[in-house]
Amino acid sequence: MSYTLGQLAAKVQGTVKGDAGLVIDKLGTLEKATQSELSFLANPKYQSQLSSTSAGAVLVKTEELADLLENAIVVANPYLAFAQLSHLFAPKTQCWSGVHPSAVISSKSKIANNVVICPNVVIDDDVIIEPDCIIGAGCVIGRGVKIGQGSRLYPNVTLYHDVEIGSKCILHSAAVIGADGFGFAPKEGGWEKIDQLGAVVIGSNVEIGASTTVDRGAIENTQIGNGVKIDNQVQIAHNVVIGDNTAIAASTAIAGSTKIGSYCTISGGVCIAGHLVITDRVHITGMSMISNSITEEGSYSSGMGMEPTSKWRRTVARVRRIDEMAKQFLQLKQQIKKLSDKVDV
């Protein structure tokens, strides 16, 4: 699909600088885009690439930046505009319609007429799937599941019993929603399994990445709010509650019964302990270990950043001596006080 620069500008409420009739058939990076591609500048550190880019046009924030280019679209938020225009160029990935004959569907389920069900899907009793959904090949949908209008499951998603998915959600391949939480009571000689009696309730406009797992609640439900975005290979334990429009990057692990507020951003590899409360609008930087509740919005970090190995080893050696150094400091402080007292006398 191709569009003129003027057509693209109209879709993002931008202003064309240059040839509004320039035909764009693809999006690209500043470094590798060609004359028929549109790129964007969102991060100032890439501004130097404007002078060398071969992109036919670039989404920029100011007229001053547009003056450095032959063709540009000036828009308030270039990154958001790029995201909006990406929908126009996304390839179609669904090549059939209706219900594939290899699907196994319970007669007790309720499937809207215009739902696409791909090969080898299994749908259990009392499932409700609303219009405009796409269920990818090999998905397994357990008893009593509800899927809202316009949602899409990519191949091999598994929804355990009684899971609820809102409208316009996207679940990527191998996501598992509603598996048992990690609940065991110790007993003599081993462990007694605690049956997980809750479910998982997911709001609308939620996206969940590949191989991410969301465990069902032990008694109450695990809850994912509207507009939440969860990356690949994230673990969300039983009875976690995540507020609206929070975004969680890959390899994060959230332990049971923790409540995370709205509009939070959690970077990759973060570990969050259980039974904590994190307020709204908190940003947690990558690889942080969160062991206490966070009651004030803002940015939080833990751990040490990268440095050359030789320097890191010296730093670790000093950290291990902190207790000893603190005792030495206290002794010196006491000695100085005694000397000071003698001088005053």
The pLDDT score that the predictor gives to residue 21 is 96
User: Scanning the structure block, which residue is given the tokens 């049971």?
Assistant: 256
Burial 74-103 (b: 16+ CB within 10 A, else e): bbeebeebbeebeeeeeeeeeeeeebeeeb
Q: Which domains does the chain have, with CATH numbers?
A: 3-89 (3.40.1390.10), 104-300 (2.160.10.10)
The predicted model scores a pTM of 0.87
Beta carbons of 262 and 245 less than 8 angstroms apart? yes
The pLDDT score that the predictor gives to residue 340 is 81
The pLDDT score that the predictor gives to residue 193 is 96
Residues 6+ apart with CB under 8 A from 21: 4, 5, 6
CA 214 to chain centroid, in Å, comes to: 13
The pLDDT score that the predictor gives to residue 95 is 65
The pLDDT score that the predictor gives to residue 338 is 83
The pLDDT score that the predictor gives to residue 55 is 96
Please provide the size of the chain in residues: 345
Residues 6+ apart with CB under 8 A from 114: 131, 132
The pLDDT score that the predictor gives to residue 93 is 72
Run of H or E including 54: none
DSSP for 131-197, written as a single string:
TT-EE-TT-EE-TT-EE-TT-EE-TT-EE-TT-EE-TT-EE-TT-EEEEPP--EEEETTEEEE----
- Closest C-alpha among 219, 213, 178, 224 to residue 196: 219
The one catalytic residue among 87, 100, 238, 275: 238
The pLDDT score that the predictor gives to residue 344 is 64
- Consecutive sets of 10 residues in the chain, 345 residues long: mean pLDDT of each? 94 95 95 95 92 95 92 96 94 80 97 95 98 97 98 97 98 98 96 97 98 97 98 98 98 98 97 98 97 97 88 89 90 87 69
Mark whether 238 is an active-site residue: yes
